[in-house]
Structure 1
Amino acid sequence: MRNDERFEIQRAFDLLPHVIGSSWAVIWFRMKGIKKPTRDEYREKTLEFLRKIEPVFESYPKEEGFLDIIKYIEFRKNEEYEKIRSGKNKEVETRYDRYVDYG
């Protein structure tokens, strides 16, 4: 698969963890009155919300022309989940810091 064929998926996975996962996690902690969740709690909540959009990741038909992009989506999804779990997603970590510092 050419790079230009996966460009939009790459951009989506660059943004979705912090735009969807972290944003919803922050609101959840705020509404629960939890001002200082642990990093692990924050990461798990971020993953919980990000997983809610998995049907989108699985929405392409299982047809010949889509198999490469389906494989790539699965690869990027797993890669992003692991980055969140391990603290290697800098945007998610920045949003955690901002939340616990400024609530």
Structure 2
Amino acid sequence: MRNDQRFEIERAFDLLPHIVGSSWAVIWFRLNKIQKPTREEYRKKVLEYLKMMEPVFESYKTDENFSEIVKYINIRKQEEYEKISSGLNKEVEKRYERYIDYG
């Protein structure tokens, strides 16, 4: 698969963890008045909200023309989940620090 064919998916996976996952997680913690969640609690909540995007990630599975991009989406999705769980997603970690510092 050419780089230009997966560019938009790459950008989505670069942004979705902190734009969707972290944003929704922060709202959840604020509304539940949890000002100092642990990193693990925060990461789990980010993953919970990001995984709600699964229907979008699976939207191409029924079309054979999309088999290569479907493989790429599945690989990239798992990589992002692992990065979040292990603390290697720098944007998610940055959002955690900001929440802890400013609530």
Same topology, TM > 0.5: yes
The equivalent of 2:2 in structure 1 is 2
Instruction: Measure, in 2, the Cα distance between the counterparts of 1:86 and 1:101.
Output: 21
TM-score (normalizing by structure 1): 0.98
**What's the CA shift for 1:81?**
0.2
Instruction: Measure, in 2, the Cα distance between the counterparts of 1:99 and 1:57.
Output: 28
The equivalent of 1:11 in structure 2 is 11
Instruction: Measure, in 2, the Cα distance between the counterparts of 1:61 and 1:48.
Output: 22
> Which structure 2 residues correspond to residues 1-103 of structure 1 after superposition, within 5 A?
1-103=1-103
Counterpart of 1:87, as a letter, is G
Aligned length: 103
Question: Greater shift after overlay, 5-14 or 62-71?
Answer: 62-71
Question: Greater shift after overlay, 61-70 or 47-56?
Answer: 61-70
For the aligned residue pairs, the C-alpha RMSD in angstroms reads 0.7
In the TM superposition, structure 1's runs of 4+ consecutive aligned residues that sit over 3 Å from their partners are: none
Gaps of 5+ in 1: none
TM-score (normalizing by structure 2): 0.98
Instruction: Measure, in 2, the Cα distance between the counterparts of 1:94 and 1:41.
Output: 15
Paired-residue identity, %: 71
Instruction: Measure, in 2, the Cα distance between the counterparts of 1:61 and 1:35.
Output: 40
Question: Deviations along 1:38-79, whole A, 9 cap, x unmatched?
Answer: 000000000000001100000014332110000000001000
